[in-house]
Amino acid sequence: MSEKVKVTIDGITVEVEPGTSILNAARQIGGDIVPPAMCYYSKLEGSGGKCRTCLVKVSKGSEKDPRPMPKLVASCRTGVMDGMEVQNITSPEVIEARKGVVEILLINHPLDCPVCDQAGECHLQDLSFEHGVADTRYEFERRTFERIDIGDKIQLHMNRCILCYRCVYTADQITEGRVHGVLGRGDASEISTYIEKAIDNDFSGNVIDVCPVGALTDKTFRFKNRVWFTKPVDAHRDCPKCKGKVTLWYKGEEVLRVTGRKDQFGEVEDFICNTCRFETKNTSDWVIEGPRHIAHTSVISANHYEIAPTPVIKKNQVLIEANKIEFDRATKV
């Protein structure tokens, strides 16, 4: 392999393979300096460059050409150069630009979070909480659409769509025959399945997981519960079609929904098939691995326990046992 290149993001230097994007270099560092991404999805080839939330400032182009880049660049689409210096959260210009991007994304997005099933795990919600302004300056009517059923398991709320194209790339790459695309241009563009043709592919359910907002939602989970009242548990099963590694979302004894396992950037680790997602909603179908790790910043972490609490008196065997029983009760859904 060729030599690694050095890139400095917000003062933290990291060595990455040449050809890595700035966003992925930042993800290797991790933490607060990772630019948010609404459209880029590392598992989807060709995604990115649409939403502009990952804008960063390149204050030094490279070691050979130290001039800064004239404009803010989309970090998911810009490759790193040796000696590049990037500013993300340390640049007020970037913060300001991101605020503008969020405002643009929210122009047509309805504020129906109390109704939306994605609330609590919605990236746009996080983003607008962090960067957005409380008011909108938009004075015109938001575009509205009727709800569309894509097959009998997936529902499309075109109102909420931010046109990130993730679902289109998913349909393109995960499935063979694409029946899902974007019609129209600019302000008139909309996600469509070509005359509401149902997706029959085994992996079509993954468009729900990749959607950063609540535009594509699971019809079997529609209005069942809020995500923060359900308990995520990792589980697996022998699936002939996919790896079968999923997260089950429990409420009481009941599995309300099944999703792929999402990492810290909100991307699924493995795509799962529709049988795993929609048809196997019994505990007996799965081998439970344990509670899913949820970041403490997420609302889902409320009343979510992952490790056994330390006993009050460490040597008292009775209390240790009692704690174990209590922990089992709390985690065993």
Partner 1 sequence: MNFWERLYLPAIFQGMGITFRHMFKKKETVFYPEVQREFSENWRGMHSLKRDEQGRERCTACGLCALSCPAEAITMIAAERQKGEEQLYREEKYAAVYEINMLRCIFCGLCEEACPKEAIYLDGPIVPADYLRKDFIYGKDKLVEEPMKLS
Identify the residue among 148, 182, 299, 330 touching partner 1 (CB under 8 A): 299
Q: What's the rounded Cα separation, in Å, for the pair 263 and 275? A: 22
Identify the residue among 67, 142, 197, 222 touching partner 1 (CB under 8 A): 222
Identify the residue among 114, 177, 186, 240 touching partner 1 (CB under 8 A): 114
Number of residues that bind partner 1 (CB under 8 A): 14
Contact flag: residue 200 with partner 1 (CB under 8 A): no
Nearer Cβ to partner 1 (2/144): 144
Choose the binding region for partner 1 from 106-114, 172-180, 258-266, 316-324 (rule: CB under 8 A).
Answer: 106-114
Query: DSSP per residue over 259-278, as a string?
Result: EEPB-TTS-BSS---HIIII
Contact flag: residue 297 with partner 1 (CB under 8 A): no
Contact flag: residue 197 with partner 1 (CB under 8 A): no
Contact flag: residue 302 with partner 1 (CB under 8 A): yes
SS3 9: strand
Contact flag: residue 63 with partner 1 (CB under 8 A): no
Residues 134-153 that bind partner 1 (CB under 8 A): none
Report, in Å, the least distance between residue 232 CB and partner 1: 16
- Written as six digits, the tokens of 225 are 């519960």
Q: What's the rounded Cα separation, in Å, for the pair 329 and 98? A: 44
22, exposed or middle or buried, with CB in 10 Å at 0-12, 13-18, 19+? buried
Contact flag: residue 130 with partner 1 (CB under 8 A): no
Cβ-defined contacts of 304-307 (< 8 Å, 24+): 304/231, 304/232, 305/330, 305/331, 306/331
Q: Determine the Cα angle at 104 with ends 100 and 108, to 5°.
A: 155
Q: Is the distance from CB of 244 to CB of 272 less than 8 angstroms?
A: yes
Identify the residue among 69, 119, 148, 330 touching partner 1 (CB under 8 A): 119
Contact flag: residue 42 with partner 1 (CB under 8 A): no
Which chain residues interact with partner 1 by CB under 8 A? 112-115, 119, 222-226, 228-229, 299, 302
